[in-house]
Amino acid sequence: MIQNTEIVDAARIVEFCRSLKDQGFERLATVTAVDRHPAEPRFEVVYHIHSIEHNQRRRLKCRIPSAPAEIDSVVSVWRSANWYEREVFDLFGISFRAHPDLRRIMLPDDWDGHPLRKDYPVHGHRYSYKDEEGAG
Amino acid sequence: MSDPEHLSETVTAALREAPAGEGVSARRMTLNMGPQHPSTHGVLRIMLELEGETIYSARLDIGFLHTGIEKEFEVKTWQQGVTLTDRVDYLACLSNNLCYALAVEKLLQLEIPPKAQWMRVMLVELTRLNSHLVWLGTHALDVGAMSVFLYCMREREDILRIFEAFSGQRMMTSYIRIGGLALEPPRGWDQAVRRFITAFPSKVDEYESLLTRNPIWLERTRGVAVVPVADLLDLGVTGPCIRAAGIGWDIRKSEPYSSYDKFDFEVPVAAEGDVYARYQVRVEEMRQSTRIVKQALEGMPEGPWQADAPHVVLPDREKMKTQMEALIYHFKIVTEGFLVPQGEVYQTVESPRGELGYYVVSDGTARPLRVHMRTPSFGNLQGLPAMIEGRLLADTVAAMGSLDFVLGDVDR
């Protein structure tokens, strides 16, 4: 289990991850983000990495601002980052530079907004209770 | 993406890209498999580019079952969140319940009594059996062995009845809660479980007699969908697929949770890494899970089944009506939930499909700031193109079955 979080400079994330992979962290368990809206820097991109051989897990965190919400992609280090980063892009609107295939993954291509942002209402932008008035 | 116009565009684009003069490439065809296809076990779309019957490339399109569960956590109290975890991987509800509960309990620093821990182990192992039975039945059905499905569903029904006796629900159990279990185990639960696990090993023999040396099964599964294990790990694959490729990595052993270190069981490993090896590993896992359930049943500790934490666990009904303090706790838990100290936890468990992880962040309030699910099916599915590219179209179905993904678990 992971006890502490390592804060990594967003500009160095790829280099840092590559050195960890060379140390035996062969797995990227997941990439996700946390929206700290309205605080700045707004987003935290969180990486959980794992070494089976050393039975060790580490958590890396990069803080990035709301504009531009961008960070380098780690697909060149672990291929599994492909879908993980696409998911973060889709649901948080964070762009990953040099990602080979940065498209929405969960939502339709023409979806408006990024649902996991804190300023996105749970019922969505398109729906409101007003629409139901008079309907019943 | 899914409109026919776009699809024909893809076909023409593929033909345009084909280098002139190479007859083989010019015959390349795009085949759209899914989103409604019986072998995808849900709604998965695969865009296959074929040359004859050989798959040249495969691209996956997911998200059809996306229901925004992670978003919904933001408006639920911590305990209400348990009901959402059921609905992610609907074949391994209790594994999801457990992972979430363990993560939040870690933030709350709750001590879970031994009886609850052992009960949890027993139930998640029954969940593993349930999930593997559905996998085996549908996998065999996809490959063409129809009767296995009927046998597997027969035993699965017994497990679902046990779940119903415990929780009142066959599938969406929500039985493992933060702080222990939802209800006191029902009267006679031990007899029901004992009856089941006494009979079960002979049923596994029965499935094996239908498949293990069946020439058609061997023909369809041996040497199919082999990918070097380093690539599998790099692509995010976990669980039985990794163990079938020679690495004995099981989170129950490497990072024991909920007293797994007190149980005696083996982690089955195979070397070949093909569909057949994955079958062997999962069948052996069923036998091992039976062993664990048996140990849990025989060594079940006495004592409370919920943590001693009145601010988290709902009080006994009787106490609530007779004691003022219990009434206040009850009122506070029901109306506003409980506060979870600031912090973050990444908790993993070995779900039937592989590494299930919950990354839970609390800002000290009664609702989670963020709950992220690292679901095994999402990672496993990324390995599919590598398994089928360059192989025959018919192998796709066998490869998909061997990955054992649940689309609810992929899309969340």
pLDDT 10s digits, B16-55 = 555 544 555 567 888 888 787 766 677 888 899 988 888 8
Could you give the CA distance from residue B293 to residue B196 in angstroms, rounded to a whole number?
10
Q: What is the 3-state secondary structure (H, E, C) of B310-336?
A: CCCCCCCHHHHHHCHHHHHHHHHHHHH
Strands (E), B4-87: 29-33, 45-51, 54-61
| Contact call for B412 and A106, based on CB within 8 A | yes
For position B39, what pLDDT does the model report? 67
A78 touches chain B (CB under 8 A): yes
Could you give the CA distance from residue B46 to residue B34 in angstroms, rounded to a whole number?
6
**Contacts for B215 with CB less than 8 Å, ≥ 6 apart:** none
Q: Which residue has the tokens 């960890």?
A: A20
For position B158, what pLDDT does the model report? 93
Q: Is the pLDDT of residue A94 over 90?
A: yes
A122 touches chain B (CB under 8 A): yes
The Cβ of residue B392 has, within 10 Å, a number of other Cβ atoms equal to 14
| Contact call for A109 and B1, based on CB within 8 A | yes
Q: Average pLDDT in the B397-405 region?
A: 89
Instruction: For residue A96, give the H/E element and its range.
Output: strand A95-97
Could you give the CA distance from residue A52 to residue B372 in angstroms, rounded to a whole number?
22
pLDDT band at B337 (very low <50, low <70, confident <90, very high): confident
For position A44, what pLDDT does the model report? 92
Q: Is the pLDDT of residue B331 over 80?
A: yes
pLDDT band at B3 (very low <50, low <70, confident <90, very high): very low
Interface probe for A, chosen from B346, B380, B407, B412 (most Cβ of A below 10 Å), is B346
Q: Is the pLDDT of residue B225 over 80?
A: yes
| CATH class of the domain comprising B69-374 | mainly alpha
The Cβ of residue B219 has, within 10 Å, a number of other Cβ atoms equal to 12
Distance from CA of B169 to the nearest CA of A (A): 28
Could you give the CA distance from residue B8 to residue B29 in angstroms, rounded to a whole number?
11
Q: Is the pLDDT of residue B129 over 80?
A: yes
Contact B97, B174 (CB under 8 A): yes
Higher-confidence residue: B23 or B308? B308
For position B165, what pLDDT does the model report? 92
Contact B367, B77 (CB under 8 A): yes
pLDDT band at B4 (very low <50, low <70, confident <90, very high): very low
Question: Is the pTM value of this prediction over 0.90?
Answer: no
Q: Work out the burial of residue B246: count CB atoms within 10 Å of its CB; fewer than 13 is exposed, 13-18 middle, 19 or more buried.
A: middle
For position B234, what pLDDT does the model report? 92
Average model confidence (pLDDT) for chain B? 88
B261 touches chain A (CB under 8 A): no
Instruction: For residue B349, give the H/E element and its range.
Output: strand B343-351
Task: Report the percent of chain B where pLDDT is more than 90.
Answer: 53
Chain B residues whose beta carbon lies within 8 Å of the beta carbon of residue A91: 70
pLDDT band at A78 (very low <50, low <70, confident <90, very high): very high
Could you give the CA distance from residue B173 to residue B182 in angstroms, rounded to a whole number?
9
Could you give the CA distance from residue A87 to residue A31 in angstroms, rounded to a whole number?
9
Contact B269, B248 (CB under 8 A): yes
Nearest chain A residue to B106 by CA distance is A1
| Contact call for A57 and B346, based on CB within 8 A | yes
For position B97, what pLDDT does the model report? 93
Contact B92, B376 (CB under 8 A): no
Q: Average pLDDT in the A19-44 region?
A: 90
Residue B188 φ/ψ region, left for φ over 0, alpha for ψ in the -120 to 50 degree band, beta for the rest:
left
DSSP characters over B295-311:
HHHHTPPPS-SB-S-TT
The Cβ of residue A68 has, within 10 Å, a number of other Cβ atoms equal to 10
Chain A residues whose beta carbon lies within 8 Å of the beta carbon of residue B382: 79-80, 82-83
| Three-class secondary structure of residue B265 per DSSP | coil
DSSP characters over B174-223:
--EETTEESSPPPTTHHHHHHHHHHHHHHHHHHHHHHHTT-HHHHHHHTT
Could you give the CA distance from residue A60 to residue A56 in angstroms, rounded to a whole number?
13
What Å distances lie between residue B294 and A122, B184, B199, B229, CA to CA? 44, 20, 12, 33
pLDDT band at A129 (very low <50, low <70, confident <90, very high): low
| Contact call for B68 and A29, based on CB within 8 A | no
Chain A residues 36-55 with CB within 8 Å of chain B: 46, 48, 52, 55
Contact B185, B163 (CB under 8 A): no
Contact B36, B381 (CB under 8 A): no
Q: Is the pLDDT of residue A135 over 70?
A: no
For position B43, what pLDDT does the model report? 85
Chain B residues whose beta carbon lies within 8 Å of the beta carbon of residue A28: 236
Closest alpha carbon to B150 in B161, B160, B138: B138
Q: Is the ipTM of this complex over 0.95?
A: no
Which of A122-136, B11-25, B85-99, B372-386 comes out lowest in average pLDDT? B11-25
A84 touches chain B (CB under 8 A): yes
CATH number of A5-132: 3.30.460.80
Q: Is the pLDDT of residue A3 over 70?
A: no
Q: What is the pLDDT of residues B160-217, one digit of tens each?
A: 999 999 999 888 989 999 988 988 889 889 999 999 999 999 999 999 998 888 899 9
Q: Average pLDDT in the B220-242 region?
A: 91
For position B21, what pLDDT does the model report? 47
Q: Where are the domains of chain A?
A: 5-132
Q: Average pLDDT in the B2-9 region?
A: 48
pLDDT band at A136 (very low <50, low <70, confident <90, very high): very low
Q: Is the pLDDT of residue B326 over 80?
A: yes
Q: Where are the domains of chain B?
A: 4-61, 69-374
Contact A112, A125 (CB under 8 A): yes
